Structure formats: structure tokens, C-alpha cells
Structure 1
Amino acid sequence: MSDADLEEIRKGRLAQLQHQQQGGASSGGGGEDQQKQEAEARNSILTQILTPEAADRLGRIRLVKESRATDVENRLMTLARSGQLRSKVTEDQLKELLGAMAENEEKVGGGGGGRIVINRRKGWDDDDDLLDI
């Protein structure tokens, strides 16, 4: 991602924040419009930082688990704002990011995804009971 792209993202975000400040003071019930504008701005930024394949994968993730897709989007936007993205994010890079985020969740103890613990009771159903008959 070039400096010009990042500057464009910054300008767009600044314009969005200025619009929110102006709109927030004058209108009280524009929450729906504001959410729509935020979603459009978010999609615009993601289009600039993701390859089409990566955007498609993120869309499929959103279908399965929206909270995970939102977390990934937030992380990508943070990386873009801090200047850590040098080029568009590919599908393989997106997979690596997902893996890193999943490992981090497991270390923190959140999610609990994929792990099932079965505790079996011992002694309540012995086959020896049948011999007493």
C-alpha cells in the first residue's frame, strides 16, 4: 500500500469524523444514516487494503461468524492506519492473520472453540450388576 493510498484513507476518515460531528449536533435521529455511512466507509477502506480473493474469503467468514469477520476487519484497519500494511492483503496473509488471532484467543482463554471435554462417571453402570441376576 503506497503512501498516497494511506493518505487517501486518512482524508476519508477525517471527512467522515467531521461529518459525524456536524451531523451529531444538528440531527437527533440520524442513527440509521450514520450506521450506513460508517459501513460504506468501512467497505471502501477494506476494498483498498484487500485483494479480491481475500475480500471474498472475509465475506465467507462473515456468513459463518459475523463477530470473527468484524474482529478481522478491525485488526486490518488498525494495521492500515498505523502504516504496517505495505501492499494489499492477500488471501494467504488473511489466513495467517486468522490463525494468529485464533492462537491468541486460545492463549487468552476466550472462545473455547473446537475443544470438547467429556467427563465420564465411573462405577454407576458396571457389567458386574448383570451377574447378580
Structure 2
Amino acid sequence: MADAELEAIRKARLEQLKAQSGAGGSKSGGGGGSGGQQGGGQAEQKQAEAEAARQSILNQILHPEAADRLGRIRLVKESRATDVENRLIMLAQTGQLRAKVTEEQLKDLLNAVADTKEEEKIVVSRRKGWDDDDDDLFDL
């Protein structure tokens, strides 16, 4: 399954390169002042490529219902959705996924991620037996 994922990533990258070569000629003829913008554009472009590769992998390993649920989770808590996506991609790359992930399997994975992630707790400890004499000043 990892070979199929790599092939899908390669195809997506090839399509992006073809699109860039078609649109790239009009960008490069701009002028000397756009050099700094191209550096930022390349980083942005690499980020977009990485996101497209992630989406390609997720589309291959998730049933549509599971993908829909993950999208709704992303609307509420993006960090949790990203954690689940990273774990799913890792499982797919190591060959531990034999079939597409169903919505029920995604729910189990979400529960596992929630259980392993510790939330910070704030503990307030109050002193007992402490007497404040200032309270007596207001009793008239």
C-alpha cells in the first residue's frame, strides 16, 4: 500500500510541476524587484505541495464517512485533527493499515488519542485555618 501512496504523491507532484511550467513563464518575466517575493512563494508552494500530498494519502486510506468526520473535527479542534491525521499517515506508511479506515475505526482512534493526551490541570490549594484580622475592621 505504501507503493501506491508514493505513486499517488509522485503523480500529484508531476501535475503540480506541469502546472508551474505552464504558468511559470509569465511569472519569471516580471522584473528584478520580485526576487524576494519568489522566495516566500516557494516556501508557500512547498507547504501547499505537502498539504496536497497529505490529502492524497488521506483520501486513499479513509472511507468518505471517516474523511467527513475528520473534516468536522478539524472545524472544532484543528490540532486534534492534525494529530489523528499524522497517526493515520504513520500507520499507512508502516503498512499497518490493511484496508480503508472506517468511521468506527476513526472513532476508536480519536478515543485513543484523547486518552493518551494529558490535559493540564490547575490545582488550587487554599490555606486552612488562616485568620484575617482585617475582617474585624468592617464590623461596626
Q: Please tell me the TM-score bracket, short chain as reference.
A: 0.5 to 0.7
User: 1:37 aligns to what SS in structure 2?
Assistant: helix
Aligned match of 1:82 in 94, 104, 110?
A: 94
**Segments ≥4 residues shifted beyond 3 Å:** 11-17, 115-124
Query: How far apart are the structure 2 equivalents of 1:52 and 1:117?
Result: 42
Query: How far apart are the structure 2 equivalents of 1:86 and 1:60?
Result: 25
Aligned match of 1:9 in 5, 9, 17?
A: 5
Query: How far apart are the structure 2 equivalents of 1:15 and 1:51?
Result: 21
Superposition deviation, residue 11 in structure 1: 3.2
Shift of the 118–45 alpha-carbon distance from structure 1 to 2, 3 Å rule, reads same
Q: Which residue of 2 aligns with 1:70?
A: 82
Q: Which residue of 2 aligns with 1:20?
A: none
Query: How far apart are the structure 2 equivalents of 1:105 and 1:57?
Result: 20
Residue 42 (structure 1) aligned with residue 54 (structure 2):
yes
**TM-score, length of structure 1 as denominator length:** 0.67
Tell which structure's C-alpha radius of gyration is larger: 2
Shift of the 8–104 alpha-carbon distance from structure 1 to 2, 3 Å rule, reads same
Task: Extract unaligned runs of 5+ from structure 1.
Answer: 18-26, 125-131
Q: Which residue of 2 aligns with 1:127?
A: none
* Percent identity for Structure 1 against Structure 2: 57
Superposition deviation, residue 34 in structure 1: 1.3
Shift of the 64–116 alpha-carbon distance from structure 1 to 2, 3 Å rule, reads farther
**TM-score, length of structure 2 as denominator length:** 0.64
Count of matched residue positions in the alignment of Structure 1 and Structure 2: 116
Aligned CA RMSD, in angstroms, stands at 3.3
